[in-house]
């Protein structure tokens, strides 16, 4: 049986994405206030608690008008 060290216990820390419900790994070097991104859907979070793992979703920093321009069909 192998030895157990502190870092091995931290390897199993995961948080759950609120959007896609995928698990997000939280490595031992992350701390409260650090930003982390869901690998599956790209949602950004701030770590609010390490034990237990808790995330706060970062508000959308982009305006939807930047990506979706309204189409005007009257011009055609």
Q: How many domains does the chain have?
A: 1
* Residue 14 lies inside a defined structural domain of this protein: yes
CATH number at residue 13: 2.20.28.160
* Residue 31 lies inside a defined structural domain of this protein: yes
**Tens-place pLDDT, residues 21-59:** 999 999 999 999 999 999 999 999 999 999 899 999 998
* Residue 22 lies inside a defined structural domain of this protein: yes
* Residue 67 lies inside a defined structural domain of this protein: no
For 28, the domain range is: 6-59
The confidence band for 61, taking pLDDT boundaries of 50, 70 and 90, is: low
Please give the residue that has the higher pLDDT: either 51 or 8.
51
* Residue 49 lies inside a defined structural domain of this protein: yes
* Residue 73 lies inside a defined structural domain of this protein: no
Residue 59: the pLDDT is: 80
CA-nearest of 59, 60, 58, 76 to 68 is: 60
Q: How far is CA 18 from CA 3, 13, 23, 43, 46, in A?
A: 35, 16, 10, 9, 13
Residue 62: the pLDDT is: 47
CA distance 45 to 3: 34
């Amino acid at each position: 049986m192998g030895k157990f060290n502190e870092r091995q216990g931290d390897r199993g820390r995961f948080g759950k994405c609120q959007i896609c419900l995928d698990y997000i790994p939280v490595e031992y070097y992350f701390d409260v206030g650090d930003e982390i991104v869901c690998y599956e859907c790209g949602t950004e979070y701030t770590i609010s608690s390490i034990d237990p793992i808790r995330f706060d979703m970062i508000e959308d920093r982009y305006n939807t008008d930047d990506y979706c321009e309204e189409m005007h069909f009257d011009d055609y």
